[in-house]
């Protein structure tokens, strides 16, 4: 036998042996839902990326007609994780009036997003699980770390309120350290700074005394709301919605002009506020909607959130927000 043939046989044997030792690819994780009329089915499949050196995962949402097997297509594709500890995006389906609403626990970065297929509208909305709030100590550890990716994940749905005194104090301390020797890679990040500013505003009590930290937080958010980083702009928009100054209304609406996909998210955020100014901002968003489909999307979200909005904002002692007076 020639030497070359022997080498080839040995190499083939090694490849076969290594292949036998490799674990099989993980099975698909499937979420499935059938429309109430029995005509459609939506499913989401999360699988490991294929190819050498590929260790990530992607979720693909498929929409299929049960009356016509040829009518089926992937309508959403986005990177995902398979464990909650690593930042898995949970996903659920809801059907109404010719629309498939995909509910996600955190808004992903879409690689494919189809908004209408075979007469069916496809919308994406973020639902807010009640996350276990980070303690003041955990926040201090996040702000003093250098793991920016983990910090963004932990603070993705971070909110404050006037009762969370320890958490607000931890954010305020990190806020005071900005630009100093204790500032870290995490607190130097513009997105994280917007999260911190939003927390300070959310944690402010009504009729509070003038606070230089609030003034600087508002100034930062008024800059961040114009960011090309849409996630940063959305964080800033949420903070300014809570601040409730009419001078910020147009800046909030302008986020939807730069990225139309966030219309549903901002509609939800505005409906989650009891401030009359939030209602005015939502009306402005409706007036400036680029087309009837966008208006219909806003109207549909408003109808869906009406019970929760009424329950939160119509109660006698609901702690309604007061609009800021123009100075």
Contact criterion met (CB below 8 Å) for 255 and 266: yes
> Would you state the pLDDT for residue 177?
95
> Would you state the pLDDT for residue 86?
79
> Would you state the pLDDT for residue 215?
97
Task: Kindly report the average pLDDT of the chain as a whole number.
Answer: 85
Q: Above 60 in pLDDT, residue 217?
A: yes
Q: What's the per-residue H, E or C state across 119-187?
A: CEEEEEEECCCCCCCCCHHHHHHHHCCCCHHHHHHHCCCCCCCCCCHHHHHHHHHHHHHCCCCCCCCCC
Q: Above 90 in pLDDT, residue 213?
A: yes
Give the DSSP letter of residue 51.
S
Secondary structure element (H or E) that encloses residue 61, with its range: strand 57-65
- Give me the percent of the chain exceeding a pLDDT of 90: 58
As given in the structure block, the two tokens for residue 259 are 């990225």
The residues spanned by each domain of the chain are: 29-126, 131-226, 244-327
> Would you state the pLDDT for residue 54?
58
Q: Above 70 in pLDDT, residue 200?
A: yes
With a threshold of 0.75, does the pTM exceed it? Answer: no
> Would you state the pLDDT for residue 322?
60
Q: Above 50 in pLDDT, residue 103?
A: yes
CA distance 292 to 273: 25
Position 52 confidence tier, pLDDT thresholds 50, 70, 90:
low
């Amino acid at each position: 036998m020639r030497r070359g043939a022997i080498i080839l046989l040995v190499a083939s044997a090694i490849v076969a042996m290594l292949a036998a030792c490799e674990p099989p690819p993980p099975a698909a994780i499937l979420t499935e839902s059938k429309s109430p009329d029995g005509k459609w089915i939506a499913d989401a499949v999360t699988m490991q990326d294929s190819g050498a050196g590929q260790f990530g995962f992607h979720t693909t949402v498929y929409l299929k007609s049960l009356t016509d097997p040829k009518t089926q297509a992937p309508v959403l594709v986005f990177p995902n994780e398979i464990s909650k500890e690593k930042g898995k995006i949970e996903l659920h389906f809801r059907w109404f009036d010719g629309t498939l609403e995909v509910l996600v626990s955190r808004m992903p970065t879409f690689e494919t997003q189809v908004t209408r297929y075979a007469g069916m509208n496809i919308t994406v909305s973020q639902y807010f699980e009640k996350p276990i709030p980070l303690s003041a100590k955990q926040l201090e550890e996040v702000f003093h770390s250098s793991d920016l990716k983990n910090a963004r994940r932990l603070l993705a749905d971070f909110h404050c309120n006037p009762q969370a005194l320890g958490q607000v104090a931890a954010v305020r301390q990190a806020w005071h350290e900005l630009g100093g020797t204790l500032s870290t890679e995490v607190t130097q990040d513009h997105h994280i700074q917007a999260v911190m500013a939003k927390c300070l505003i959310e944690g402010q009590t009504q009729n509070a005394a003038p606070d230089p930290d609030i003034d600087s937080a508002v100034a930062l958010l008024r800059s961040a709301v114009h960011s090309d980083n849409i996630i940063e702009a959305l964080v800033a928009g949420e903070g300014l919605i809570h601040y409730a100054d009419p001078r910020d209304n147009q800046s909030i609406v302008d986020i939807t002009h730069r990225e139309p996909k966030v219309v549903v998210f901002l509609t939800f955020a505005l409906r989650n506020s009891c401030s009359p100014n939030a209602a005015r901002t939502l009306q402005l968003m409706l007036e400036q909607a680029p087309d009837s489909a966008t208006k219909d999307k806003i109207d549909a979200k408003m109808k869906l959130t009406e019970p929760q909005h009424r329950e939160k904002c119509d109660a006698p002692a609901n702690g309604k927000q007061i609009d800021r007076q123009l100075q």
